Amino acid sequence: MEVLESQLHSCRCPLLARVWKADLEACQLLMQSLRLQEAGINPHAEGEKQMDSIGEATWTATLTAHPRPHPEEEKTPLQVLNAWSIHSTPLPHCAGGQQKEESHVVSAEVGEKCEAIGMRLLYLEDQLHKAIHSRDEALFHILSIFQKLLCK
23 domain-assigned:
yes
Q: Does residue 91 form part of some domain?
A: no
Q: Report pLDDT digits (tens) over 11-55.
A: 777 777 777 788 778 888 888 888 887 777 655 544 444 445 555
Query: How would residue 9 be classed by pLDDT, with cut points 50, 70 and 90?
Result: confident
Residue 48 lies in a domain: yes
Number of domains in the chain: 1
Domain assignment present for residue 113? The answer is yes
In sign, the C-alpha dihedral spanning 12, 133, 141, 61 is negative
Please indicate whether residue 144 or residue 81 has the higher confidence score (pLDDT).
144
Q: Using an 8 Å Cβ cutoff, are 115 and 5 in contact?
A: no
Residue pLDDT, tens place only, 22-34: 877 888 888 888 8
In-domain check, residue 42: yes
- What angle (nearest 5°) sits at the alpha carbon of residue 3, between those of residues 47 and 84? 40
Say how far apart CA 114 and CA 4 lie, in whole Å: 9
Q: Which helix (H) or strand (E) holds 152?
A: none
Q: Give the relative orientation of helices 2-10 and 14-38 as an angle to the nearest 10 degrees.
A: 160
Dist. CA 109–CA 132, nearest whole Å: 35
Most confident of the ranges 5-9, 49-53, 90-94: 5-9
Range of the domain at 14: 2-86+96-151
Letter for the amino acid at 104? H
113: Cβ contacts below 8 Å, ≥ 6 apart: 73, 75, 77, 80
The CA distance from 36 to 34, in Å, is 5
56 within a domain of the structure (yes/no): yes
DSSP state of 43: P
